[in-house]
């Protein structure tokens, strides 16, 4: 195979024009590798030959599986990132966190729990030991105000804790850095569930529809349409076209009962 | 970082027509939707499923002779990846009432319901609990809740979207349970987007005739997954084992499912699970990269459950149509293939070509919308080129704030806003560049409406691994719904059945036979399956 063909094959394999790429050195668990400078850490790991088992998930920044810590040469600061989102930097020394012990309090039926400070403090008493260092907030790859939601939880402002933690991907980086041994993501999910289940106002139209279904009000129309469906496309298509013709316009309010 | 100067120059054409388009949109005027015949013709010409090399006939197993998507046939026409000589069926390592294989949304919903029925549940998952496509779903979950809507209308929308091929009884289950599922998730603590009266926000999705898409900002899947995961973890009779996927199902001498052989991914040891009922909820197969498309799917979406079930004698259905989501990221290159939720179009953003023109109704069913994008780029030559040689069309997200008020993008699409800001692009000011991406496995394993296998006793399915619910094309918001509906049904059915099951002696003969047939037919050259993890070593995917 000619050199040119080899380069082409390699490029097809990696899906990137390597001749135009700018390569930089990074250090994966202390070992030096040269990688294109546009890659997120996760793709750089794979490019270097790692087959990932832990430390990989959605690859889109929502699942929190790929918590990573790093330092860059000459800078004492320990930095954190999601490997699928953070693009590599020159002289980056990195390692992924495969697992971090973090306890979840024992609770089951959220509907029977009171959305109060006492509940949250009862489940996670260590939140009272928060010393206000704000390291959790500084180590959040989602830029959430972690310390603020912990203090809201401590005060019993469950709604605020729920809203401030809503975008938490539960990667646990804050937990690895907390000197008070708080497991912030678990406090966050408890508050969100308490808020969603016990505090957010229940939808009246949803309650009505669930009641109708339980009372069998939709059984007959459903039986009829299923019977038509079993007869085949020709019978069903006019019914479909009928409901599609009655398409609700886009300009109506997105909220609100009919 | 951000768009190149050349791309910013091209965006000016989108900006030039924006004000007029917003004005029309605000009046309720849209680009005309296609009729059924027009849709069919477009699809035949441009949808990837219709390319001459898209499909091939399977040569082995229960579906021999059926056409399926090419790269999926690759994982069927190969021996099992289970190392049979390393398995000792006489030594049972785990014993349980209900075994759940796969820890995504369907698996967690099943675990909760089975536990509430009093069963002991063992949930084995390949990655972490909750690492699944459910987590990545953004847009929402359908349910006919409003007075002007009904389960019947939801039924018709779903079955029309699936080209009238869906299994009617499965669709009935789907739409009938839908409001109950929303209520259940709400009570478990899912933070649905609501107004001050508790009314949930609902929007259109492609192919819906009524606004019935419920959401939790643009993290609907993540919010539902986090809630289900926490609720499953809270059940005292649910045991979760992570990084230990099933490799093959075990049958007994009566032909019933007996459990599974699982593999510890760190020690590479195999273990035997004996279960009175088994639920397969392993998800989809986007990481097989059909037709070399980029994918929105989770790392674990390698079709393992389909392969295991097929080896055991289950029939598959609808493995020929694949769902390509019209709006996958094409730029920046780091995020190629990632999902941009249909909610963006639901909120009013229009697809626009290189000339700044509209070319398609923004909310056609996904297969039609995708076909229209492909036509615009490769037939009409009105696509937008990227620096890495890709091509796409604009998705004009700045329209959203103009239509609904400043700050709507940040409020309704916080995750997407953040993801693009990480690369220096403010999507409330600049459009996104998109192209269809491999998104969903429309088909799967045949099952009854109680989630039971059509072929094998004691075996249940839930979630993307199951087939028939969506026919040839799934509508937006019916997947977050289906994992809950059939997860709940599978959990309940399996737990109840487990009380009276008498298991016989375990056997892997079906795997031995499958390997022998593959050998006889010369189907031995490729990688063994299930593959468990995609092979990206030395690649950039």
Q: What is the pLDDT of residue A14?
A: 54
Q: Cα angle at B458 between B455 and B461, to 5 degrees?
A: 70
Is B375 in a helix, a strand, or coil? helix
The pLDDT tens digits of the residues spanning B320-332 come to 999 999 999 999 8
| Closest in A192, A233, A244 to B209, CB measured | A244
Fill in the DSSP letter of residue B278: E
Which whole number is the average pLDDT over B165-174?
Answer: 98
Q: Are B173 and B256 in contact (CB under 8 A)?
A: no
Asked if B5-50+323-438 and B76-321+442-514 have one fold, the answer is no
Q: Do B536 and A226 touch (CB under 8 A)?
A: no
Which residue, among B344, B350, B338, has the nearest Cα to B396 in the 3D structure?
Answer: B350
Strand partners, B280: B101, B461
Which residue, among A59, A54, A89, A229, has the nearest Cα to B266 in the 3D structure?
Answer: A54
Instruction: Flag whether pLDDT at A258 surpasses 80.
Output: no
Compute the count of residue pairs across chains A and B with CB atoms less than 8 Å apart.
273
- In sign, the C-alpha dihedral spanning A97, A98, A101, A106 is positive
The residue assigned the tokens 């809201």 is A152
Q: Which residues of chain A form beta strands (DSSP E)?
A: 23-28, 31-36, 67-72, 79-82, 92-96
Q: Domains plus CATH for chain A?
A: 12-96 (3.10.20.740), 110-199 (no CATH), 204-245 (no CATH)
| Closest in A200, A239, A251 to B191, CB measured | A200
Give contacts of A104 with chain B, Cβ < 8 Å: 230, 233-234
Q: What is the pLDDT of residue A85?
A: 86
- In A73-112, the residues whose Cβ lies within 8 Å of chain B are 85, 87, 104, 106-108, 110-111
Give contacts of B210 with chain A, Cβ < 8 Å: 247-248
Give contacts of B198 with chain A, Cβ < 8 Å: 200-204
Kindly report the nearest CA distance between residue A181 and chain B, in angstroms: 20
Active site residues of B: 325, 345
In Å, how far are A109, A195, B136 from B185, measured between CA atoms?
A: 13, 13, 17
In percent, the amount of chain B with pLDDT more than 70 equals: 100
Instruction: Flag whether pLDDT at A244 surpasses 70.
Output: yes
ipTM of the complex: 0.94
Give contacts of A111 with chain B, Cβ < 8 Å: 187
Q: What's phi and psi for B332, nearest 5 deg?
A: -70, 155
B403 CB within 8 Å of a chain A CB: no
Spell B371-386 as b/e; 16+ CB within 10 A means b: bbbbbbbeeeebbbbb
Give contacts of B217 with chain A, Cβ < 8 Å: 166
CA-nearest residue of chain B to A191? B189
Average pLDDT, chain A: 91
Distance from C-alpha of B538 to C-alpha of A14, rounded to nearest angstrom: 7
Give contacts of A251 with chain B, Cβ < 8 Å: 26-28
Instruction: Flag whether pLDDT at B505 surpasses 90.
Output: yes
Distance from C-alpha of B97 to C-alpha of B495, rounded to nearest angstrom: 7
Distance from C-alpha of B481 to C-alpha of B494, rounded to nearest angstrom: 20
Q: Are A97 and A54 in contact (CB under 8 A)?
A: no
- In A129-188, the residues whose Cβ lies within 8 Å of chain B are 142-143, 162, 166-167, 169-170
Kindly report the nearest CA distance between residue B252 and chain A, in angstroms: 32
| Closest in A194, A218, A237 to B164, CB measured | A237
Kindly report the nearest CA distance between residue A73 and chain B, in angstroms: 23
Kindly report the nearest CA distance between residue A105 and chain B, in angstroms: 9
Is B510 in a helix, a strand, or coil? helix
Q: Do B198 and A108 touch (CB under 8 A)?
A: no
Q: Please, what is the end-to-end C-alpha distance for chain B in angstroms?
A: 20
Which whole number is the average pLDDT over B262-278?
Answer: 98
- In B123-152, the residues whose Cβ lies within 8 Å of chain A are 127-128, 130-131, 135-136, 144-148, 150-152
The pLDDT tens digits of the residues spanning A56-104 come to 999 988 899 999 999 999 999 999 999 998 889 999 999 999 999 999 9
Distance from C-alpha of A147 to C-alpha of A134, rounded to nearest angstrom: 6
Which whole number is the average pLDDT over B19-40?
Answer: 92
Which whole number is the average pLDDT over A102-110?
Answer: 96
Is B276 in a helix, a strand, or coil? strand
Q: Confidence band (pLDDT; 50, 70, 90) for A6? A: low
The pLDDT tens digits of the residues spanning B185-219 come to 999 999 999 999 999 999 888 889 999 999 998 89
- Which architecture, in CATH terms, is B5-50+323-438? Alpha-Beta Complex (3.90)
Is B342 in a helix, a strand, or coil? coil
Q: Confidence band (pLDDT; 50, 70, 90) for A181? A: very high
- In B280-319, the residues whose Cβ lies within 8 Å of chain A are 296, 298-300
Q: What is the pLDDT of residue B253?
A: 96
Give contacts of A46 with chain B, Cβ < 8 Å: 536-541
Strand partners, A222: none
**DSSP symbols for B414-430:** HHHHHHHHTTT--TTTS
The pLDDT tens digits of the residues spanning A209-221 come to 999 999 999 999 9
The pLDDT tens digits of the residues spanning A29-52 come to 999 999 998 889 999 999 999 999
The pLDDT tens digits of the residues spanning A214-241 come to 999 999 999 999 999 999 999 999 999 9
Instruction: Flag whether pLDDT at B53 surpasses 90.
Output: no
Q: What is the pLDDT of residue A255?
A: 66
Kindly report the nearest CA distance between residue A206 and chain B, in angstroms: 6
Q: Confidence band (pLDDT; 50, 70, 90) for A1? A: very low
Q: Cα angle at B127 between B121 and B131, to 5 degrees?
A: 90
Q: What is the pLDDT of residue B525?
A: 67
Domain boundaries, chain B: 5-50+323-438, 76-321+442-514
Distance from C-alpha of B284 to C-alpha of B302, rounded to nearest angstrom: 7
Strands B444-445 vs B316-317: parallel, antiparallel or unpaired: antiparallel
Domain B76-321+442-514: CATH superfamily, name plus number: FAD/NAD(P)-binding domain (3.50.50.60)
Is B30 in a helix, a strand, or coil? coil
- In A112-131, the residues whose Cβ lies within 8 Å of chain B are none
Kindly report the nearest CA distance between residue A25 and chain B, in angstroms: 16
Structure tokens at A183: 């497991």
| Closest in B36, B200, B296 to A203, CB measured | B200
Is B78 in a helix, a strand, or coil? coil
Instruction: Flag whether pLDDT at B383 surpasses 70.
Output: yes
Q: Best residue in A41, A161, A205, A227 to probe B by mutation, most B CBs within 10 Å?
A: A205
| Closest in B146, B217, B540 to A14, CB measured | B540
Predicted TM-score of the model (pTM): 0.95
Strand partners, B241: B124
CA-nearest residue of chain A to B22? A251
Which residue, among B393, B322, B325, has the nearest Cα to B365 in the 3D structure?
Answer: B325
In Å, how far are B104, B131, B158, B196 from B143, measured between CA atoms?
A: 21, 25, 11, 20
B521 CB within 8 Å of a chain A CB: no
CA-nearest residue of chain B to A142? B418
């Amino acid at each position: 195979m000619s050199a040119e063909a080899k380069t082409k094959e390699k490029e097809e394999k990696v899906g990137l024009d390597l001749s135009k790429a700018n390569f930089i050195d990074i250090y994966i668990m202390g070992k030096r590798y040269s990688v294109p400078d546009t890659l997120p850490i996760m793709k750089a790991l794979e490019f270097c030959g790692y087959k990932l088992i832990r430390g990989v998930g959605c690859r889109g920044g929502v699942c929190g599986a790929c918590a990573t810590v790093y330092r860059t040469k000459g800078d004492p600061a320990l930095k954190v990132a999601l490997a699928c989102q953070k693009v590599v930097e020159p002289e980056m020394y990195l390692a992924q966190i495969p697992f971090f012990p973090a306890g979840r309090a024992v609770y089951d039926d959220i509907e029977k729990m009171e959305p109060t400070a006492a509940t949250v403090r009862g489940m996670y008493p260590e939140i009272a030991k928060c010393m206000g260092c704000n390291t959790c907030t500084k180590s959040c790859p989602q830029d959430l105000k972690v310390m603020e939601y912990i203090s809201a939880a401590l005060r019993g402002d469950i709604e605020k804790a729920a809203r401030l933690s809503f975008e938490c991907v539960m990667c646990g980086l804050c937990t690895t850095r907390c000197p008070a041994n708080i497991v912030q993501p678990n406090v966050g999910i408890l508050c969100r569930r308490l808020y969603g289940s016990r505090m957010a106002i229940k939808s009246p139209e949803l309650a009505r529809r669930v009641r109708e279904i339980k009372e069998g009000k939709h059984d007959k129309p459903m039986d009829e349409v299923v019977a038509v469906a079993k007869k085949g496309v020709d019978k069903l298509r006019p019914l479909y076209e009928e409901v599609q013709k009655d398409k609700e316009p886009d300009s109506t309010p997105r909220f609100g009962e009919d | 970082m951000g768009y190149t100067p050349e791309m910013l120059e091209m965006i000016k054409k989108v900006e030039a027509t924006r004000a007029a388009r917003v004005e029309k949109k605000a009046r309720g005027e849209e680009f005309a939707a296609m009729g059924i015949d027009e849709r069919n013709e477009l699809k035949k010409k441009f949808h990837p499923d219709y390319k001459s090399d898209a499909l091939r006939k399977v040569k082995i197993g229960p579906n021999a002779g059926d056409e399926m998507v090419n790269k999926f046939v690759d994982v069927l026409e190969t021996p099992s990846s289970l190392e049979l000589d390393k398995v000792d069926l006489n030594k049972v390592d785990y014993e349980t009432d209900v075994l759940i294989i796969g820890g995504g949304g369907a698996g967690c919903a099943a675990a909760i319901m089975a536990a509430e029925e009093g069963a002991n549940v063992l949930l084995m998952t390949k990655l972490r609990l909750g690492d699944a496509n459910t987590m990545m779903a953004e847009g929402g979950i359908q349910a006919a809740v409003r007075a002007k809507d009904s389960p019947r209308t939801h039924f018709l929308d779903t079955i029309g979207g699936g080209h009238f091929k869906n299994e009617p009884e499965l669709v009935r289950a789907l739409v009938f349970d839908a409001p109950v599922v929303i209520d259940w998730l709400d009570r478990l603590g899912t933070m649905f987007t609501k107004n001050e009266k508790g009314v949930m926000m609902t929007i259109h999705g492609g192919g819906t005739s009524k606004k019935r898409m419920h959401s939790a900002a643009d993290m609907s899947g993540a919010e539902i997954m986090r809630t289900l995961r926490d609720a499953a973890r809270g059940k005292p009779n649910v045991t979760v084992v992570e990084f230990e996927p099933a490799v093959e199902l075990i049958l007994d001498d009566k032909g019933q499912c007996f459990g599974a052989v699982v593999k510890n991914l760190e020690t590479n040891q195999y273990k035997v699970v004996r279960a009175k009922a088994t639920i397969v909820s392993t998800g989809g197969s986007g990481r097989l990269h059909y037709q070399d498309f980029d994918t929105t799917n989770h790392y674990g979406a390698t079709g393992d459950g389909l392969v295991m079930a097929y080896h055991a004698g289950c029939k598959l259905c609808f493995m020929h149509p694949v769902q390509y989501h019209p709006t996958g990221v094409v730029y920046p290159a780091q995020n190629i293939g990632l999902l941009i939720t249909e909610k963006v179009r639901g909120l009013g953003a229009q697809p626009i070509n290189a000339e700044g023109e509209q070319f398609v109704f923004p909310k056609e069913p996904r297969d039609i919308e995708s076909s229209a994008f492909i036509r615009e780029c490769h037939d009409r030559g009105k696509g937008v080129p990227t620096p890495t040689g890709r091509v796409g069309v604009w998705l004009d997200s700045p329209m959203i704030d103009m239509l609904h008020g400043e700050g709507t993008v940040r409020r309704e699409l916080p995750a997407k806003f953040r993801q693009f800001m990480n690369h220096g692009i403010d999507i409330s000011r600049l459009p996104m560049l998109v192209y269809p991406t491999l998104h969903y496995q429309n088909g799967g394993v045949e099952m009854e409406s109680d989630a039971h296998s059509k072929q094998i006793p004691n075996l249940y399915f839930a979630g993307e691994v199951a087939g028939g619910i969506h026919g040839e094309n799934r509508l937006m918001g019916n997947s977050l719904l289906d994992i809950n509906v059939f997860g709940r049904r599978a959990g309940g059915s399996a737990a109840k059945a487990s009380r009276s099951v008498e298991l016989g002696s375990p056997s892997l003969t079906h795997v031995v036979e499958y390997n022998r047939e593959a050998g006889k037919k010369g189907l031995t050259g490729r990688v063994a399956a299930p593959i468990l993890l995609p092979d990206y070593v030395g690649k950039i995917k």
